[in-house]
Amino acid sequence: MSSNSSITKSDLIEALAKKQSHLAFKDVELAVKGMLEKMSRELSSGERIEIRGFGSFSLHFRPARLGRNPKSGDAVALRGKHVPHFKPGKELRERVNAINEQNKPDSD
Amino acid sequence: MALTKAAIAEMLFEELGLNKREAKEFVEEFFEQVRQALEEGNDVKLSGFGNFILRNKSERPGRNPKTGEEIPISARRVVTFRPGQKLKARVEAYAGSQQQ
């Protein structure tokens, strides 16, 4: 499919440091890392994250199942576990898809 | 209670000493930068947390769940989130209410 370019955490820190020029670069770095740590911590304690206009993160439960060791083919009992799930918010969905909205033939 | 922008800003105020206005602005700008990058067609990779990946979906047949009427779902670009190894491992350790 599409081979996108990508933005990394350090690109993001640089962009934010430019925008928030009253903050020291080091503080921007700490703030970004602090935010991601806070979000990870909340999620892994079972808490949802709800960012209006961006989206929400929650946990989905994967029930226990019988898996297989790919090498030996032996059945292995796997315990149920939680996995992180992200649902994009309305604004993010619309902005990301704007490229298609522009050349829509007819919208109702 | 769910974690919100306000609570994240509060953390920046308490733990990093940004003033309240700066903290609020920072949180807003962080998510805006991510939205903008995605809007411009870039994936966003936040190591340790996860990757926001763009996918182009082609048109597919759909149905109005109420009336059962067939309507095509138009081609669109969507964002998906792939949690990183570190976040997955931390979340996996959570023994929530659904586990016996």
B50 burial (CB, 10 Å; 0-12 / 13-18 / 19+) is buried
* Whether B19 contacts chain A with CB within 8 A: no
Are B50 and A35 in contact (CB < 8 Å)? no
Are B3 and A59 in contact (CB < 8 Å)? no
> How many angstroms separate the CA atoms of B93 and A68, rounded?
21
Cite the beta strand spans of chain A per DSSP E.
6-8, 49-51, 55-62, 65-68, 75-78, 81-88
**More confident: A104 or A108:** A104
Mind listing the pLDDT tens digit for each residue in A39-84?
999 999 999 999 999 999 999 999 999 999 999 989 999 889 999 9
Q: Above pLDDT 70, what percent of chain B?
A: 95
pLDDT band at A102 (very low <50, low <70, confident <90, very high): low
CB B51 within 8 A of CB A37: no
Mind listing the pLDDT tens digit for each residue in A16-38?
999 999 999 999 999 999 999 99
Q: What is the DSSP string of A40-51?
A: HHHHHTT--EEE
Mind listing the pLDDT tens digit for each residue in B50-84?
999 999 999 999 999 999 999 999 999 999 999 99
Say whether A99 sits in a helix, a strand or coil.
Answer: helix
pLDDT band at B94 (very low <50, low <70, confident <90, very high): confident
Instruction: Supply the pLDDT for residue B99.
Output: 47
**Measured between beta carbons, which residues in chain A are less than 8 angstroms from residue B80?**
86
> How many angstroms separate the CA atoms of B31 and B13, rounded?
17
Pick B4's closest partner by Cβ from A6, A50, A61: A50
Mind listing the pLDDT tens digit for each residue in B14-45?
999 999 999 999 999 999 999 999 999 999 99
- CA nearest A87: which of A32, A41, A49? A49
Q: pTM to 2 decimals?
A: 0.88
Are B30 and A38 in contact (CB < 8 Å)? no
Looking at residue A81, what DSSP letter applies? E
Place of tokens 């959570």: B94
* Whether B30 contacts chain A with CB within 8 A: yes
Are B98 and A54 in contact (CB < 8 Å)? no
> How many angstroms separate the CA atoms of B14 and B9, rounded?
9
Instruction: Supply the pLDDT for residue B97.
Output: 59
Cite the beta strand spans of chain B per DSSP E.
43-46, 50-57, 60-63, 70-73, 76-83
Instruction: Supply the pLDDT for residue A105.
Output: 54
**Measured between beta carbons, which residues in chain A are less than 8 angstroms from residue B18?**
23, 27, 31
CB B39 within 8 A of CB A7: no
The answer on pLDDT for A3 being more than 90 is no
A67 CA to chain B: closest CA distance, Å? 17
Strand arrangement, sheet containing A49-51: A49-51, A55-62, A81-88
Which residue stretches of chain B are H helix? 5-16, 20-39, 85-92
The answer on pLDDT for B88 being more than 60 is yes
* Whether A51 contacts chain B with CB within 8 A: yes
DSSP helix, strand, coil percent of chain B (3-state; round to 5) = 40, 30, 30
